[in-house]
Amino acid sequence: MLRTGFGGPVSVVSGVVARSGPDSRSRTGNSASARKISREDTPEENRNRRELEVYDPLGLYSHPDGSHEPLRASWDPTGADEQRETEKPSALRRFVSTYGWRAYALPILFVVTVFVVVDAVRGGNPPASVTGAPGLGSLSPRAAVSGIIGAPPGDGRFPKDLPTGVLPEGGAFTESGAGTWHLIAGAGPQVGAGAETVFRYSIEIEDGLDTSGFGGDESVARMIDSTLANPKSWTHDPKFGFRRVDQGDTEFRISLTTRQTTRKACGFEIPIDSSCYNADLGRVVLSEARWVRGATAFEGDIGSYRQYQINHEVGHAIGYHRHQPCDSDGGLAPVMMQQTFGVRDNDIAALEPGGVVPMDGKVCRFNPWPYPRG
């Protein structure tokens, strides 16, 4: 189709305008001179020329200035440019646009958290000042101490009206038993990583001790098993693992024991009921009187006291031989503190002047766990 313009007849082909006139010459198919690219053109101009040549395979069009150079108008019949402009941003761009600087901070925080967790696992027990958790003291080889570990402090000469350590009112318990123990059948899988030691233990009840008042023998065994399997207990430390067995050798036996037999096994005859670990016997001796009644000075419920009783004496068995004072006034008491006698340093120091617990006035809150949360 021809139209008349100021520069002579104009051809309109497929929407592209080309002038014709005496100075214009048609470009033919593969003419090298027609497709010659000026060295003075910019890269953008060269790109436009190439685009036009793609859509002008016959070389029919001339430049508006009369030259034989291809038209430089960019023509994109596919609409790719428009598509790129309306294209939706990627999920990553939307995330960055929505959260701004937090989009960069969150991954960094995640990486830092992973490093902290790994470091804590590899490093064992971090100091209490760093974690805010109560301390545990130093870990000794199990063979380093023999005999009775965890006996009550002092020389046994206590005033009759001593409130600390007094057994509270409560349910009935057995005063004396046979001095022998029977095994509670049952074995289980290992709990805890046990990277250094897996402690095999059995559960026993003293003959003559009646457990019907607090659920029977199986109830006692379940309480012990669930306490040691709790991640707040000793299995929190990857060095330790526990496995209950009912045959073969054991590292220690956890034995619920009557009042009088407990006093003999723990080596004292004083008016304060307590539990202990007897290394010579390989026996964790749990006082039934305390199992039933708890401790007034503990200031917690009976279930929490039983958990404390188990964790404290098993702590002695796995190597935490020394007792601990309250290390943070108002904080949770260390599980290796003698909470049966009190959660106040002054109360325990009065029983054993010059002992490991100072008369410093610190007061803790009861705590049954080596690794409490919060």
Mean pLDDT of 240-251: 97
pTM of the model: 0.65
More confident of the two residues 203 and 267: 203
Mean pLDDT of 18-22: 42
Mean pLDDT of 325-345: 94
Q: Are residues 64 and 107 in the same domain?
A: no
Q: Are residues 118 and 144 in the same domain?
A: no
pLDDT of residue 59: 46
Q: Are residues 274 and 147 in the same domain?
A: yes
Q: Are residues 117 and 225 in the same domain?
A: no
pLDDT of residue 355: 83
Residue 79 lies in a domain: yes
Quick one: which of 214, 250, 248, 244 has its CA closest to 229? 244
The answer to whether 299 and 339 are in contact (CB under 8 A) is no
Out of 26-30, 63-67, 159-163, 321-325, which region has the weakest mean confidence (pLDDT)? 26-30
Q: Which domain holds residue 30?
A: 2-83
Q: Is 283 helix (H, G, I), strand (E, B) or coil?
A: strand
Mean pLDDT of 327-338: 95
Residue 374 lies in a domain: no
Highest mean pLDDT among 28-42, 64-78, 258-272, 314-328: 314-328
Q: In whole angstroms, give the CA distance from residue 269 to residue 259.
A: 10
Q: Are residues 167 and 287 in the same domain?
A: yes
Q: Are residues 149 and 264 in the same domain?
A: yes
Q: Are residues 157 and 302 in the same domain?
A: yes
More confident of the two residues 69 and 256: 256
